[in-house]
Structure 1
Amino acid sequence: MTAATVPAPSRPAPSRLRRTLALAGAETRLLLRNRTAVVNSLLLPLFFVALVPLTDIGGEGALGPRLVVTSLGVTLVFLTYYNLVTTFVARREELVLQRMRSGELSGAEVLLGTAVPTLLVTVAQVVLVLAGSAVIGEWAAPVDVVLPLLALLGGTALMTLLAVASTSFTRTPESAQITTLPLVLVATAASGLLYPLDVFPDRVAEVLRFTPVEPVVELARLGLAGQTWDGQAVDWAGAWAAAPQPLLVLGAWIAVAASVSRQVFRWAPRR
């Protein structure tokens, strides 16, 4: 057999992780080209750090942990959820999602790769607020570090899945201002984000603990501020003793959102 007839070695197909990272890298480069978005992502958390000490946001306790808890909830709702709804809808209407899915990328890889830049900005904003609270001398050692991490991971997963589901009734990126409003209002008023749930009657507060964003806020507050949903101070053991309900509620919401989004998400626009 001559050299000309020797078949060339086939290249191994890229793994799912490599494909997802490649798409995430492309989406991140698009984000970095938008200087306004980058500047806002960096400046808004610092503005938040400067603003909150002038208000009474987040209840009682050390200011630094309250800043981070509030920033986590606000960022998940107003950045992660809203941005992903508009991004997914824009990509769908431009037929980008449909084209990417027709190649080697699976549906999950397309959605995750598209979401990565927003998720990175989410984490960066929370870290900036944490660093800012330390710089102004308001940081206090957390009661537990695992619970806030679970809140961040679970919160980003839930907001991503809710964003995917919300695209089913969002026809254009502009209409996302309306379609995302119900979750934004519920998260703002009923999650303990801006004020603790103990300001409500007991029965109402117990019901509000089952809203989507409340378990994220509750877990973050337990770990960072050492406070339960009704304002009681707890240590490490007490924080974990109070954690099962918000963990179960958050897990249930993630499961429901994953099931619904799988059934209702459309890869192409309605014609």
Structure 2
Amino acid sequence: MTATTAPAPSRLQRVAALAGAETRLLLRNRTAVVNSLLLPLFLVAFVPVAGLGGDGPLGPRLVVTAFAVTLVFLTYHNLVTTYVARREELVLQRMRSGELTPGEVLLGTAVPTLLVTLAQVVLVLAGTAVIGEWSAPTDVVLPLVALLGGMLLMTLLAAASTSFTRTAESAQITTLPLVVLASITSGIVVPLTAFPEQVAQVVRLTPIEPVVELARLGLAGQTWDGRSVDWAAAPQPLLVLAAWIAVAAAVAPRVFRWAPRR
């Protein structure tokens, strides 16, 4: 009688299994779960008071602000902390020595944070409908491209940032430069129109600004300087976002450390 062997799990099954384990760890962290629910509610309440998100209807401003805040303060920061914590616990090294490929390890570890990012944006969308500020987007594709492209870019930048982050605690400091840069250059806190024209054009080349610009184009039909247009203004932010993704995809695998420094 010939013994039969079970087929090896597929790449998708391996990533799903790792993502499931990481999700269970996240759900056990009650503070992280509560913060994930409270941050969108805080945005819905705070944005109108602070006048964030530029000019235009309140609904799109809320959602655009949610894009920028969740991608930087949740996706990027959380993933740097998670990757470094798993590295220092030797978890990444053990997983890499098994069937999982490096890409599968990084993706599976990132999935829970990416799902929370999506959930927070959906909660803000629901919040705009509840308060009566929802308006149909000018174009559905551009916000989706902005969100998915932004999540990919923040994941790659987080992986690259682990190269100079020694501990999970030090991530509070090492992530600060990108957080500050995004706060200044995204157009959420300081409108780009407040800068001289030449400076504003340079600011448009920073990592998070094209995400905000694409989201604003799709949701409100407005450019960074308030003009009402549609796809005609999309090529530049699309190219800038694609360029950042390409650079981050080339750098992250080269600098990512799988084992702690000894």
TM (norm. structure 1) is 0.95
* CA-CA distance at 1:66 after TM superposition: 0.4
Residues 46-70 of structure 1 deviation map (CA, whole Å, 9 limit, x = unaligned) = 1210122222111111000000000
SS of the residue 1:253 aligns to:
helix
Q: Is the 8 A contact 2:183 2:189 kept in 1?
A: yes
Report 1:48-63 matches (<5 A).
48-63=43-58
Gap runs ≥5 in structure 1: 1-5
1:243 equivalent in alignment to 2:234: yes
- Provide the aligned length of Structure 1 versus Structure 2: 262
Amino acid at match of 1:221: R
From 145, 155, 176, the equivalent of 2:171 is: 176
- Distance in 1, matches of 2:86 and 2:246, equals 25
Range with greater deviation from structure 2 (37-46 or 146-155) = 37-46
1:71 equivalent in alignment to 2:71: no
- Distance in 2, matches of 1:198 and 1:43, equals 31
- Distance in 2, matches of 1:34 and 1:173, equals 15
- Distance in 2, matches of 1:193 and 1:114, equals 29
Larger Rg belongs to:
1
Query: Hey, what does 1:195 align to over in structure 2?
Result: 190
Q: Is the 8 A contact 2:40 2:124 kept in 1?
A: yes
* CA-CA distance at 1:24 after TM superposition: 0.2
Q: Is the 8 A contact 1:218 1:246 kept in 2?
A: yes
Query: Hey, what does 1:155 align to over in structure 2?
Result: 150
Query: Hey, what does 1:3 align to over in structure 2?
Result: none
- Distance in 2, matches of 1:35 and 1:78, equals 18
1:47 equivalent in alignment to 2:52: no
* CA-CA distance at 1:194 after TM superposition: 2.1
From 159, 178, 194, the equivalent of 1:164 is: 159
* CA-CA distance at 1:195 after TM superposition: 3.4
* CA-CA distance at 1:196 after TM superposition: 2.3
Residues 216-252 of structure 1 deviation map (CA, whole Å, 9 limit, x = unaligned) = 0000000001110111112xxxx21110111111001
1:135 equivalent in alignment to 2:126: no
- Distance in 2, matches of 1:167 and 1:7, equals 48
From 29, 32, 40, the equivalent of 2:27 is: 32
Amino acid at match of 2:256: F
- Distance in 2, matches of 1:199 and 1:44, equals 27
From 218, 223, 227, the equivalent of 2:213 is: 218
Q: Is the 8 A contact 1:196 1:231 kept in 2?
A: no
- Distance in 2, matches of 1:178 and 1:195, equals 23
* CA-CA distance at 1:193 after TM superposition: 2.1
- Distance in 2, matches of 1:259 and 1:193, equals 29
SS of the residue 1:137 aligns to:
coil
Amino acid at match of 2:248: A
Report 1:226-241 matches (<5 A).
226-234=221-229, 239-241=230-232
SS of the residue 1:123 aligns to:
helix
Residues 32-84 of structure 1 deviation map (CA, whole Å, 9 limit, x = unaligned) = 11122111111221121012222211111100000000011010000000000
- Distance in 2, matches of 1:178 and 1:33, equals 25
| CA root-mean-square deviation | 0.8
Gap runs ≥5 in structure 2: none
From 68, 82, 95, the equivalent of 2:77 is: 82
Query: Hey, what does 1:253 align to over in structure 2?
Result: 244
Q: Is the 8 A contact 2:52 2:189 kept in 1?
A: yes
